[in-house]
Amino acid sequence: MATIAELEVGEPAARAAQAAVVASSDLPDLPAEKMVLNMGPSHPSTHGVLRILLELDGEIITKAAPDIGYLHRGDEKIAENMTYTQFIPYTDRLDYLAPLANNVAYALAVEKLMGLDQQLPPRCQFIRVICCELARISAHLLGLGAFAMDVGALTVFMHTFTEREKIYNLCEALTGARFTTSYTRIGGLSRDLPPGWAGQCRKFCREVVVNFDESEKLLTRNRIFVDRTRDVGVISKELAIDYGLSGPNLRGSGVEHDLRKAAPYLVYDQLQFDVPVGSVGDCYDRYLVRMEEMRQSVRLLHQCLDRLPGGADNPSREPVNVPDAKTVLPPKDKVLTSMEELIHQFMLVTQGVNAPSGEVYFGAENPKGELGFYINSKGGGTPHRLKIRAPSFVNLSILPVLLPGHLISDVVSILGSIDFVMGECDR
Amino acid sequence: MAAVDLAQKLKARFGALLSGPAEFRGETTLQVAEAEQIARVCAYAKKELGFDYLVDLTSVDNYGQEPRWTVVYELCGLAHGCHLRLKTEVSEESSELPTVTGVWRTAEWHERESYDMMGIRFRGHPDLRRILMWEGYPFFPLRKDFPLAGKSSEMPDIAFTDPAPLEGGPFVTIAGGSDAVAREPRARAPETDALETNARLERRKDIREAHGRSYRPGPIEPRQ
Residues 6+ apart with CB under 8 A from A238: none
Looking at the fold, whether B78 and B40 belong to one and the same domain comes out as yes
DSSP string, B9-33: HHHHHHGGGEEEEEEETTEEEEEES
Residues B95 and B160 both lie in one domain: no
- Per-residue pLDDT for B13 more than 70? yes
Higher per-residue pLDDT: B146 or B206: B146
Whether residues B58 and B109 fall in one domain = yes
Residues whose CB is less than 8 angstroms from the CB of residue B66 and which lie 6 or more positions away in sequence, other chains included:
B91, B92
Would you call A387 and B58 a contact, using CB atoms and an 8 Å cutoff?
A: yes
| A positions 262-291 inside 8 Å of B (CB) | 262-263
Query: In terms of domains, do B108 and B163 share one?
Result: no
- Does any CB of chain A come closer than 8 Å to the CB of residue B214? yes
Give me the mean pLDDT over the B172-199 stretch.
57
How many Cβ atoms from other residues are within 10 Å of residue B124's Cβ? Answer: 13
Confidence of residue B215 (pLDDT cuts 50, 70, 90): very low
Residue B167: pLDDT over 60: no
Give yes or no: residues B192 and B111 share one domain: no
Q: Tell which wins on pLDDT, A320 or B188.
A: A320
Range of the domain at B119: 3-123
| pLDDT for the residue numbered B114 | 92
B140 within domain boundaries = no
Q: Is the peptide bond preceding residue B67 cis, with omega within 30 degrees of 0?
A: yes
Q: B17 — phi, psi (to 5°)?
A: -65, -30
User: Residue A61 pLDDT more than 80?
Assistant: yes
Q: If you average pLDDT over residues A20-25, what whole number do you get?
A: 64
Residue A294 φ/ψ, nearest 5 degrees: -65, -40
Q: Is the pLDDT at A38 greater than 50, yes or no?
A: yes
CA A371 to CA A259: how far, in whole Å?
10
Helices and strands (H and E) in chain B: how many: 6, 7
How many Cβ atoms from other residues are within 10 Å of residue A289's Cβ?
Answer: 23
Residue B164 CB coordination number (10 Å): 13
State CA A98 to chain mean position distance: 7
B183 in reach of chain A (CB within 8 A): yes
What confidence category does residue B216 fall into, taking pLDDT thresholds of 50, 70 and 90? very low
Least confident of A38-47, A97-106, A118-127, A323-332: A38-47
Evaluate whether residue B171 is within a structural domain. yes
Q: What residues of chain A lie within 8 A of the CB of B148, using their CB?
A: 77-78, 81
Amino acid identity, residue B171?
A: F
Residue type, B201: L
Calculated CA dihedral for residues A204, A210, A216, A217, nearest 10 degrees: -160
B9 domain residue, yes or no: yes
Q: Does B160 touch chain A (CB under 8 A)?
A: no
The domain locations on chain A are: 85-377
* pLDDT score of A12: 62
**Structural contact between residues A61 and A55, judged by C-beta atoms closer than 8 angstroms:** yes
Q: Is residue B137 part of a domain?
A: no
* pLDDT, tens digit, 9 for 90 and up, residues B46-71: 888 889 999 999 999 988 888 889 99
3-class DSSP assignment, residue A191: coil
- Confidence tier at B214 by pLDDT (50, 70, 90): very low
Q: Among A68, A69, A378, whose Cβ lies nearest the Cβ of B179?
A: A378
Three-state SS at A34: coil
Alpha carbon distance B114, B92 (integer Å): 14
Residue B171 has pLDDT above 60, yes or no: no
A248: CB partners within 8 A, 6+ apart: A140, A286, A289, A290, A293, A369, A419
C-alpha neighbours within 13 Å on the C-beta side of residue A381: 23
- Whichever domain contains B64, its CATH number is 3.30.460.80
Residue B163 has pLDDT above 70, yes or no: no
Is the predicted pLDDT of residue A391 greater than 60, yes or no? yes
Per the CB < 8 Å rule, is A69 touching B132?
yes
B26: CB partners within 8 A, 6+ apart: none
Preferred mutation among A110, A374, A377, A402 to probe B, highest tally of B CBs within 10 A:
A374
Residues B110 and B159 in one domain: no
What digits encode the pLDDT tens for the residues B123-160?
999 988 889 888 878 888 888 888 777 777 666 555 55
Q: What residues of chain A lie within 8 A of the CB of B141, using their CB?
A: 74, 77
Q: What is the pLDDT of residue B213?
A: 47
Burial class (CB within 10 angstroms; exposed 0-12, middle 13-18, buried 19+) of A139: buried
| Residue B153 touches partner A, C-beta closer than 8 Å | no
The pLDDT, as a whole number, for residue B217 is 45
Q: Is the dihedral of CA A102, A106, A111, A117 positive or negative?
A: positive
The alpha-carbon gap from A226 to the nearest alpha carbon of chain B, in Å, equals: 30
Integer angstrom CA distances of residue A40 from A66, A178, A346: 10, 29, 48
Asked if A160 and A141 touch (Cβ cutoff 8 Å), the reply is: yes
Q: Kindly report, residue by residue over A197-249, the tens digit of the pLDDT.
A: 999 999 999 999 999 999 998 888 888 888 888 888 899 999 999 999 999 99
Within this chain, do residues B106 and B192 fall inside the same structural domain, yes or no?
no
Of B107, B123, B139, the domain-final residue: B123
Residues in chain B within 8 Å Cβ distance of A352: 180
> A136 near A367, Cβ under 8 Å?
yes
Answer whether A170's CB lies under 8 Å from A204's CB: yes
Residue B111 has pLDDT above 60, yes or no: yes
- Specify the DSSP class assigned to residue B141: T
Q: Are A351 and A83 in contact (CB under 8 A)?
A: yes
Tell me, yes or no, whether B115 and B58 share the same domain: yes
Say if B82 falls within a structural domain.
Answer: yes
CA–CA separation, B165 and A231 (whole Å): 50
Whole-number pLDDT of residue B139: 85
Residues A371, B128: Cα–Cα separation, whole Å = 25
pLDDT digits (tens, 9 = 90+) for A128-173: 999 999 999 999 999 999 999 888 888 898 889 889 999 999 999 8
Mean pLDDT, range B208-220, rounded to an integer: 49
Do B108 and B170 lie in one domain? The reply is no
Cα–Cα distances (Å) from B184 to A327, A374, A377, B196, in that order, read: 18, 21, 14, 14
The percent of residues in chain B predicted with pLDDT above 70, rounded, is 67
Query: At B14, which amino acid appears?
Result: F
- Do B73 and B174 share a structural domain? no
Instruction: Identify whether the C-beta of residue A120 lies closer than 8 Å to the C-beta of residue A380.
Output: no
Please check whether residues B16 and B116 belong to one and the same domain: yes
Same domain (yes/no): B113, B8:
yes
- CB-based contact (8 Å) between B79 and chain A? no
- Closest chain B residue by Cα to residue A346: B214
Instruction: Give this prediction's pTM.
Output: 0.83
The DSSP letter of residue A407 is B
* pLDDT of residue A411 exceeding 50: yes
Select from A293, A268, A381 the least CA-distant residue to B183: A381
Query: How far B25 CA lies from chain A's nearest CA (Å)?
Result: 7
From B123, B138, B162, give the residue that closes a domain. B123
In a domain, B64, yes or no: yes
The SS3 of residue A221 is coil
Domains in chain B, number: 2
DSSP state of A328: S
* Strand-by-strand arrangement of the A35-39 sheet: A35-39, A51-57, A60-67
Cα A80 to Cα A62: distance, rounded to the nearest angstrom: 41
CA pair distance A17, B8, nearest whole angstrom: 66
- The fold of the A85-377 domain, in CATH, is Cytochrome-c3 Hydrogenase; chain B (1.10.645)
Amino acid in position A365: E
